[in-house]
Amino acid sequence: MTRAALAARACSALLLSIGLVRCANCAPYTPPTPAEIPPGFRENADWKAAQPADQTVRGEWWEIFQDPQLSELERQIDVSNETLKIQQARFAQARAAIRIDRAARYPQVTTSPSVTRSQSSEARGTALSRRRATDFLLPVDVAYEADVWGRVRYSVEASRTAAQASAADLESVRLSLHAELALDYFELRGLEAEKGILDTAVTAFQRALDLTRSRFTGGIASQADVAQAETQLETTRADRADLMARYTVLQHAIAVLIGKPPSSLQLTVTPLTDPPPEIPAGLPGDLLERRPDIAAAERRVASANAGIGVANAAFFPRLLLTASAGLESASLGNWVSGLASFWSVGPAAVATVFDGGRRRAVSAQAQAAYEETVASYRDTVLTAFQEVEDNLATLRVLREEADIQAAAVAAANRSVTLATNRYRGGVTSYLEVITAQNAALTNQRTAAGILSRRLAASVLLVKALGGGWHANTLPPLKAGS
């Protein structure tokens, strides 16, 4: 066999080995699967897939509550919220990281022109006299790494999928901010309803105190009855003052969410009166595409998978193509002449012969990081199922509790009427009136609190369902990103 044939066979073997190594180094990415996807939500067993289109949760999900003031506040978040701007800047950084890694696909061209004036030493053994010289140098160096083992390709893929995860993080933050605003707003409206109840109670207790004082003046009631009426009135006023402190704090929180100083926002809200709308939960499997945090976790798995490829590529030599050309002359006049030109070109390989096990450890680290992201993804999915089930259960229980509480309020109001009539007739003491009034006030405030909690659970359910977001809205982040 001739040397040429041997060389050809060696080249073929080398190319085959390169191809096999590349295939071994670039295992296709397979999205992870959750440990288990239930066929349906237990707390939503009566849900049917054929739902009217107007009940579908969409991007501006707060519109389902049909509150114009809430909608106006929500729209300001995307424009002015500083937390959202922070996450947008992080996403911009992730997009820039793609371009940084993608730049390695192209040759790197550098130049370092210089003009050097030098003088030799007479002390050198070969020097007859001092010589002065000027060197004009204009080199151009080109370096290119042939991505044989996929190191650059996997680096680009890792940064691309990491940027997609950052985009999903941005949507998670956006959803959380919108939900937080809705929660604060509905709590504010709940406090407004409770404030109305306390205002009515203060008026009623003031009338009761006036009646008791009149009866005391007439010798019918005792000083103890007057003291009890005063205590009840002042306690209710104190409760109202405490409620107003919470009311003010919520207004400040809403102001910050829409990017305004707390002192510049003064909201006038109406009390809560209507129950929340019905929200279709869909199927558990839908959450895999509808929650941005799940999408972010899946994209991090893809990024970690590409990281394994980057780590494995380090086991093989880096193949470099380098070239250098330029002009060099002792005088500026001859700098651009053909005689002043020089060039060199040639391939090179950079291989690590011994690193004390560093590459193996890096590869093991990348594999462990991948397994961590898979476990994190599955945990995120399970948490998503839990949050939907929790809020569905909360809504079901609060719906039942609201019906029971409505009956309790009606009974407490009847008790107040009977106790007041009995007291006026001299049949009972004022203690019975106070007991009935306090029970009625407590039940009314409880009913208002239940309604507020129902609205909050509805908002949290929308958030748990992804707020109308879908994974296909993630940016592809290809060339030009």
pLDDT tens-place string over residues 386-422: 999 999 999 999 999 999 999 999 999 999 999 988 8
DSSP line for 279-344: -----GGGHHHH-HHHHHHHHHHHHHHHHHHHHHHTTSPEEEEEEEEEEEESSSTTTTSGGGEEEE
Q: Would you give the DSSP letter of residue 346?
A: E
* pLDDT for residue 13 is more than 60: no
Asked if residues 195 and 444 have their Cβ atoms less than 8 Å apart, the reply is no
pLDDT at site 430: 84
pLDDT at site 15: 41
Helix, strand, or coil (residue 137): strand
Average pLDDT estimate for 226-243: 94
Question: Burial of 313 by CB count in 10 Å (0-12 exposed, 13-18 middle, 19+ buried)?
Answer: buried
> Residue 122 — very low, low, confident or very high, per pLDDT cuts 50/70/90?
low
pLDDT at site 56: 53
Average pLDDT estimate for 22-29: 60
Asked if residues 56 and 465 have their Cβ atoms less than 8 Å apart, the reply is no
In a domain, 86, yes or no: yes
DSSP line for 14-33: HHHHHHHHHHHH-PPP----
pLDDT at site 85: 95
In a domain, 355, yes or no: no
d(C-alpha 457, C-alpha 187), whole Å? 11
Helix, strand, or coil (residue 12): helix
* pLDDT for residue 54 is more than 60: no
Expressed as residue numbers, the domain containing 283 is 36-105+153-315+361-473
* pLDDT for residue 6 is more than 70: no
pLDDT at site 259: 94
pLDDT at site 135: 81
pLDDT at site 43: 73
pLDDT at site 52: 41
In a domain, 254, yes or no: yes
d(C-alpha 230, C-alpha 240), whole Å? 15
d(C-alpha 334, C-alpha 366), whole Å? 56
Domains held by the chain: number: 1
* pLDDT for residue 14 is more than 50: no
In a domain, 387, yes or no: yes
d(C-alpha 5, C-alpha 338), whole Å? 41
More confident residue, 464 or 39: 464
More confident residue, 222 or 401: 401
Q: Would you give the DSSP letter of residue 278?
A: P
> Residue 36 — very low, low, confident or very high, per pLDDT cuts 50/70/90?
confident
pLDDT at site 372: 96
CATH code, 384? 1.20.1600.10
- pLDDT tens digit string along 69-100? 999 999 999 999 999 999 999 999 999 999 99
- pLDDT tens digit string along 325-378? 888 887 766 666 656 778 888 898 888 889 899 999 999 999 999 999 999 999
In a domain, 322, yes or no: no
What's the N-to-C CA distance of the chain in angstroms?
A: 53
Out of 48-52, 63-67, 327-331, least confident range = 48-52
Share of the chain above pLDDT 70, in %: 87
Ramachandran region, residue 72 (left: φ > 0; alpha: ψ -120 to 50; beta: rest): alpha
Q: Which residues pair with 142 in a beta bridge?
A: 109, 323
- For the chain, give the mean pLDDT: 87
In a domain, 16, yes or no: no
In a domain, 142, yes or no: no
Average pLDDT estimate for 123-143: 74
Asked if residues 82 and 89 have their Cβ atoms less than 8 Å apart, the reply is no
